[in-house]
A and B are shown apart, each in its own frame.
Chain A
Amino acid sequence: MATEASAKSSDFIKNLGKMYGTYTGGFIAFILLLAVMEQMGVPNKILGYLFVFFTLAVYAIIGVMTRTAEVSEYYVAGRRVPAFYNGMATGADWMSAASFVGMAGTLFLLGYDGLAWVLGWTGGFVLVSILIGPYLRKFGAYTVPDFLSFRYGGNFARALGVIVLVCCSFTYVTAQIYGTGLIASRFLGMNFEIAVFAGLVGILLCAMLGGMRAVTWTQIAQYVVLIIAYLTPIVILSTKKYGIPFPELTYGQAIAEITAREQQMLATGLATVANLKPHIQPFINYSPLNFFAIIMCMMVGTASLPHILMRYFTTPSVREARQSVAWSLLFIFLLYFSAPAYAAFSKLEVYTNIIGRDLTSIRPWLFNWGELGLIQICGKNAANIDAIVAACKAIAGHPGVVRLQDFVINTDVIVLSTPEIAGLPYVISGLVAAGGLAAALSTADGLLLAIANALSHDVYYKMIDPNAPTMRRLTVARALLVVVAVIAAATAATKPADILAMVGWAFSLAMAGNFPALVMGVWWKRTTATGAICGIIAGFGLCLFYLVTTRYFPGAGVAYFGMTSLTNPLTGLPLVDIAKAMALPNAMESFPTLAHPMANKVGWFDLNNIACGLLGTPLGFAVIYVVSLLGKEPSKEMQAYVDDIRKPRGRTVLEERTT
């Protein structure tokens, strides 16, 4: 019986190439079919629905087919996902709605400074591989708190690990569900709240029955969709413009043209030195300190986020865990090194075909987005020609051509509008929507699973009822998954104001809470339980304090903690006049809205609060080091376990009871 099952499973692994190859071919055939249908006159709306429902159905079918009743399958996909496929799954797990839709827009707006995010969200995998991932795989954990608990003396460390995990993952998953709602409502014209709950059903269908096993095999399918969707429009655009289907090579030309056009715009009065941010000029949006602080926090945060680390628990060996990190980054790289091309091509289009154009000959693609309020010209939604002509007439002395200061674009539009800018048929727009959904759903799946697993495995099984039978453990895991998902969707449906900033915060929180304890636990045998616990509390606490104070209690930060205004990186002047702001009646208000003059604009050392991990992490390391040295060295057994973790050969340190 057992041998039959394992023979079946090795067949399954052997056939992966054939299965996913067929699937990819089928997906391309499906795109072509829809393209033909479009030519035959099928309306856009139907094409959009077909795209979304077909892809969702595929994910759901995979999710149901890979359902499982085994604990190790549910938590770590039976530890037999080959390095290459785990890399793909990690790619989808990693790349969120923010990467897919938002990244190119950020680069469009910030130019060079936006590359801090590109660097930060790739370089962290180096740390995953050399410092943490393979060692946790050898340890044999199901969750990150598992390791903390074992290494640092039990349930108190485990509880801290769960708190850090929930803090950084919950806001992150809420942002993904929000992204799902945004994409579905934009492309399918669904009501936002309904779209959020529709997305929720999609996520649950993938994750609930099969846990990690189901999420792994759907994430691979989602990676295929998202990468095809991301690369297709930009490859076609590059081929049309420069005759070479590699946008990553040709956008250098576009950047040169942008730089030339910037000079020309300044010379002809279409832009002023004050409002033009040259695309390649560094450190005009972030000061050098904040630029490098963001890179550091995103990188170290990557190596501390539980939903990423747990992907490397699923490989068959430590060796494959390492190879798998390399594959992951390769698959992620394919998207991230194309994002700046999106930004460059869009910017060139805007600078040459919108700015300086006579109002009446504006390119029609932008009206679709103007209608939704995502593009504004002269302060009004650019819904049609009459609207913008009227809006600009109302501005005294307007020259009748669009100037740079007249034009405002929502960053989400950059990726979504590229198919229209390139003059491609609607089917490509539908494909991009399906890709964005895949990116949001796959990340949401991974995060939800991380949270639900921590609650079911760490809190319920390890802390509340260690004798629970397998069936009950899995039932609890599934029930918690649904509960967490519903809470996250309900939060997303309220459209919380800080949702996007919170994703950045998640990295800093993960970094300050997890990184020092994980790294020291593997690399320094002398680390004691007390040291680690103090370090987690101090590092995570300082980071959380800085975030909460600068965002929600800025008045108190200034009055009691010596915080000062952040400065404008270009001029070096303070962002707010603190003396004046503190004199206002609402100065000491807590939980201020973003409109509060000091919210997110005060701090120590001119450090942006998104990079608060830079304060907490060194403190965490220092506290762990000092407190560990003050205490008694860890037991011989514990040191022997650490030795075991360091050697790939042999059994895992932790052996889970699976039946």
Chain B
Amino acid sequence: MPDSASMKEREEAHWAKTSRLMFTHLGVWFFFGFVIHMFVVPLNKITIPILNFPLGFYMAAQGSLIVFVVMLFVFAKQQDKIDREFGFAEED
């Protein structure tokens, strides 16, 4: 049983890392949820080759959605890694 002081430290380090991960993902979310769509007019001037989508439209219809799905799977992995690193993960 680790003493309570080192437990406290581990908790704080774990939470600092978790918070950092949270802000990173929140940043990516904000970028693909909002920022990129503010540039839809210039982006629409670019056409994706072969598929023929205007890029601005494509990002709102599919691009950002794909990013969200992928980032959720990545997040689940990363957070689990952090939990394991500090010994706070559940048993498998």
Q: Which residues on A are within 8 Å of B, measured CB to CB?
A: 112, 115, 118-119, 122-123, 125-127, 129-131, 134, 248-249, 252-253, 255-256, 280, 282, 288, 291-292, 295-296, 299, 317-319, 322-323, 325-326, 329-330, 333, 336-337, 340, 523, 643, 646-649
Contacts and interface: CB of A to CB of B under 8 A. Distances in A.
B15 A131 contact: no
B80 A130 contact: no
A280 B44 contact: yes
Contacts, number: 131
Given A288-B38, A326-B69, A112 B60 contact: yes
5 contacts: A126-B25, A130-B25, A134-B79, A255-B57, A295-B33
Contacts of B32: 123
Interface in B44-67: 44, 47-48, 51-54, 56-58, 60-62, 64-66
Contact of B64 (A119, A130, A253, A323): A119
Given A292-B38, A649-B91, 4 more contacts: A123-B29, A326-B76, A648-B83, A648-B90
Interface string B62-92: 1011101101110110011001000111110
B64 A123 contact: yes
A337 B87 CA distance: 39
Contact of B83 (A299, A337, A647): A647
A253 B48 CA distance: 11
Contacts of B14: 646-647
B41 interface: yes
A253 B34 contact: no
Given A292-B34, A319-B90, A115 B60 contact: yes
Contacts of B65: 118-119, 122, 333, 336-337
Contacts of A330: 69
Contact of B22 (A130, A317, A647): A130
Contacts of A337: 61-62, 65-66
A649 B60 contact: no
Given A129-B75, A322-B75, A646-B15, A115 B61 contact: yes
A319 B80 contact: yes
Interface of B: 11, 14-15, 18-19, 21-22, 25-26, 29, 32-34, 37-38, 40-41, 44, 47-48, 51-54, 56-58, 60-62, 64-66, 68-69, 71-73, 75-76, 79-80, 83, 87-91
A340 B51 CA distance: 14
Contacts of A333: 65-66, 68-69
Contacts of B76: 129, 319, 322-323, 325-326
Q: Which of B54, B68, B83 has the most CB of A within 10 A?
A: B68
Contacts of A134: 79
The dominant DSSP class at the A interface is: helix
Contacts of A129: 72, 75-76
A122 B68 contact: yes
Given A123-B29, A329-B69, A336-B65, A319 B44 contact: no
A643 B11 contact: yes
Nearest to A288: B38
B68 A322 contact: no
A253 B54 CA distance: 10
Contacts of B71: 126
A119 B72 contact: no
B33 to A, nearest CB: 5
Given A118-B61, A252-B58, A255-B52, A130 B33 contact: no
Nearest to B87: A649
A112 B40 contact: yes
B60 A329 contact: no
Q: Which of B58, B60, B83 has the most CB of A within 10 A?
A: B60
Contacts of A288: 38
A255 B54 contact: yes
Q: Which of A256, A647, A649 has the most CB of B within 10 A?
A: A647
A256 B52 CA distance: 7
A249 B90 CA distance: 41
A119 B34 CA distance: 9
Nearest to B54: A280
B57 A123 contact: no
B29 to A, nearest CB: 5
Contact of B41 (A252, A282, A649): A282
A497 B59 CA distance: 34
Across chains A and B, which 3 residue pairs bring their CB atoms closest together, nearest first?
A: A326-B72, A252-B53, A252-B52
Q: Which of B19, B29, B44, B62 has the most CB of A within 10 A?
A: B62
B33 A119 contact: yes
Contacts of B91: 649
Contacts of A523: 19
Q: Which of A118, A253, A319 has the most CB of B within 10 A?
A: A319
Given A126-B72, A295-B33, A323-B76, A131 B22 contact: yes
B9 to A, nearest CB: 12
Given A337-B62, A643-B11, A125 B57 contact: no
Contacts of A318: 90
A318 B18 CA distance: 14
Contacts of B64: 119, 123
Contacts of B26: 130
A127 B56 CA distance: 24
Contacts of A322: 75-76, 79-80
Given A119-B60, A129-B76, A280-B54, A252 B48 contact: yes
B67 to A, nearest CB: 9
B83 A649 contact: yes
Contact of B68 (A248, A252, A323, A329): A329
A173 B48 CA distance: 41
B49 to A, nearest CB: 10
B51 A252 contact: yes
Contacts of A325: 72, 76
B55 to A, nearest CB: 10
A191 B65 CA distance: 39
Contacts of B88: 647-649
A647 B11 contact: yes
Contacts of A256: 47, 52
Contacts of A336: 65
B82 to A, nearest CB: 10
A158 B64 CA distance: 36
Nearest to A111: B57
Contacts of A252: 48, 51-53, 58
